[in-house]
């Protein structure tokens, strides 16, 4: 009887180790901006659209930081098109301030000078919107898959040992 308990303990340990490996490999910081900036990667001089939310009592919003602009708030939401005032490659921050409530929020975008196959300068890379289901190219899905595989193997091993133990005592 003790041998079966030891085997079950080993099987449970394998399951827990597999789950822990999946959690460790897939964990990562979640980074998010308050504003939605589209497109997220632009060329110098290209227009960006900044969208976000304010209080329902607000009527206007002002943009500052890497872009300058003003817009109207409708039912607590705004969408303003503006040109970046920066021209050098890099990541820049935008701040939107709602007029009346003084609620402010921030977002960011990147100015890039990527060259395409045809030599044309254009934005490149994954969209870095900071959330909403967008994932970068460095998401460790392999770790999650291996962790799930190890967990499934541990569960299968435990079930097999339990079935053998039941057969030997019956």
Q: Which pLDDT belongs to residue 72?
A: 92
Q: Which pLDDT belongs to residue 130?
A: 55
Closest CA to 49 of 15, 82, 6: 82
Question: Cα(120)–Cα(107) distance, rounded to whole angstroms?
Answer: 28
Question: Cα(74)–Cα(52) distance, rounded to whole angstroms?
Answer: 11
Q: Which pLDDT belongs to residue 129?
A: 59
Q: Which pLDDT belongs to residue 156?
A: 92
Q: What pairs with residue 37 in β-bridges? A: 50
pLDDT at residue 27 above 70? no
Burial class (CB in 10 A: 0-12, 13-18, 19+), 85: exposed
Q: Which pLDDT belongs to residue 24?
A: 44
Q: Which pLDDT belongs to residue 17?
A: 52
Q: Which residues contact 107 (CB under 8 A, 6 or more apart)?
A: 33, 34, 35, 36, 37, 50, 52, 93, 94, 96, 130
More confident site: 11 or 78: 78
Give residue 32's pLDDT band: very low, low, confident or very high (50, 70, 90).
Answer: very low
> Maximum Cα–Cα distance for the chain, whole Å?
80
Average pLDDT over residues 81-85: 90
Question: Cα(48)–Cα(112) distance, rounded to whole angstroms?
Answer: 13
Is the pTM higher than 0.75? The answer reads: no
pLDDT at residue 95 above 80? yes
The one-character DSSP state at 76 is T
More confident site: 84 or 19: 84
Share of the chain above pLDDT 70, in %: 63
Q: 67 is written with which tokens? A: 């872009």
């Amino acid at each position: 009887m003790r041998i079966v308990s030891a085997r079950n303990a080993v099987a449970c340990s394998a399951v827990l180790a597999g789950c822990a490996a999946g959690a460790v490999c897939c964990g990562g910081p979640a980074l998010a901006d308050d504003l939605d900036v589209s497109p997220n990667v632009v060329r110098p001089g290209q227009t960006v659209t900044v969208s976000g939310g304010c209080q329902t009592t607000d009527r206007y919003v002002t943009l500052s930081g890497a872009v300058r602009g003003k817009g109207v708030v409708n039912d607590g939401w705004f969408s303003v098109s503006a040109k970046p005032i920066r021209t050098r490659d890099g990541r820049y921050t935008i701040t939107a301030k709602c007029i009346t409530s003084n609620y402010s929020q921030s977002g960011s975008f990147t100015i890039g000078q990527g060259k395409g196959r045809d030599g044309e300068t254009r934005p490149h890379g994954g969209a870095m919107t900071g959330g909403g289901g967008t994932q970068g190219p460095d998401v460790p899905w392999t770790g999650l898959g291996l962790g799930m595989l190890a967990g499934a193997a541990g569960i299968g091993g435990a079930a097999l040992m339990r079935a053998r133990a039941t057969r030997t005592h019956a």
